[in-house]
Amino acid sequence: MSLTELERAEKHMQQQWYDLVMADQQGNSLEVLEQMYDTYILLVEEYNLCYEEYQQENQVGLRVASAPKRKSSRVNPSPGEDEGHIKLAS
């Protein structure tokens, strides 16, 4: 889901709400207003799905980009041991 697709879904939802308000102000029948409201609700649900998909895709990208990088495969030194020195077994 791209940001453009998400914005398009948001624009359709907002336009439907505007059209509904204008239809109410123009005195359209309750039946027409109910149909327009049903369409608006469907567009809200579509937008919500698009938004969730967009968020999931971007969170995965952020997790990969911000994952900590390992310095080495060496086991952490014990307390008091200098990081630059290796203790050899005798």
Q: What is the pLDDT of residues 55-74, one digit of tens each?
A: 999 886 666 555 555 555 55
Q: How confident is the model at residue 6 (pLDDT cuts 50, 70, 90)?
A: very high
Give the chain's domain count: 1
The pLDDT score that the predictor gives to residue 74 is 52
Residue among 34, 50, 32, 39 at smallest CA distance from 15: 39
Share of the chain above pLDDT 70, in %: 66
Residue among 61, 44, 79, 38 at smallest CA distance from 87: 79
The pLDDT score that the predictor gives to residue 66 is 58
Residues 57, 5 contacting (CB under 8 angstroms): no
Residue 43 domain flag: yes
Domain of 53? Answer: 3-65
Residue 23 domain flag: yes
The pTM for the full model equals: 0.65
The pLDDT score that the predictor gives to residue 1 is 83
Residue 71 domain flag: no
Residue 14 domain flag: yes
